[in-house]
Amino acid sequence: MSQPVAESKLDHVDVVGPPDAPPIVFVHGTVFNRTMWAPQREALSEEYRVIVPDLPGHGGRRDESFTLEAGVETVRQAVEQFSDDPVHLVGLSLGGYVATEFAHRHPESVADLVISGSSANPVGLLGTMSDAAGRVTLRLSEIELVEKAVDRLAAQWVRSRDLPSEQKSEIVDAGFDLRPFGEAGREIAGTDFRSSFADYDGPKLVLNGQWDVLMRSGEKAHAAAGDASIAVVEGAGHACNLERDEKYVHIVRRFIELDR
């Protein structure tokens, strides 16, 4: 198992792989943190320069608040610090929305874009629902028993995955955070990510788990708007990179190699 290294003044960023290898940046979903990409980090670190930051409010940055602006800035700093070339950018759930916005604002820094669990556009009714869920979650996150229950259930879910024991331990030991889920829900509500996705004109892939019903309901419209490809991780749900980690790596690697 390769060890993440800290090579800069940026805290809470894992960087592994040859310095001269093609750079790939993974942006995690909420509740989790950068450790959720441990399977992909390990699988790709011999052929890619793998860069994995914590978003504000998560992991080593849990004392901060999450905002979309801060999330995009986190990706910008990581790309600027660790890569001289445009990066392959992969985001899941909240990370997919952050990655979409980064690619929209900084297209010159992105070679191609993969989003997972981020193809439902939080505008209109869905935006209202996202904001409401965020408000409720923020209230619940103030209750210690709820926080402990979320941490326990998330840890049990990770331990039940078919992953190497050291990766499961890494993810569980990093902990889980409910509060930024609420912050993120309110932050993304009303933002037209589909328009941002379409505006980025590089190669794009919409990659969802087979059973991720909400995101799959929007995947065709999302892909059509952005002239993107679609791929499905069979037998997986929302956190498809952890449920079918090898299949996820295979799809991402194939997309990148075809693009190159």
Q: What is the pLDDT of residue 126?
A: 97
Domain definitions of the chain by residue range: 13-259
129-186 confidence digits (pLDDT tens): 999 999 999 999 999 999 999 999 999 999 999 999 999 999 999 999 999 999 999 9
42-52 confidence digits (pLDDT tens): 999 999 999 99
pTM, two decimals, is 0.96
Please state the CATH superfamily assignment of the domain spanning residues 13-259 in this structure.
Alpha/Beta hydrolase fold, catalytic domain (3.40.50.1820)
Sole residue written with tokens 């894992």? 14
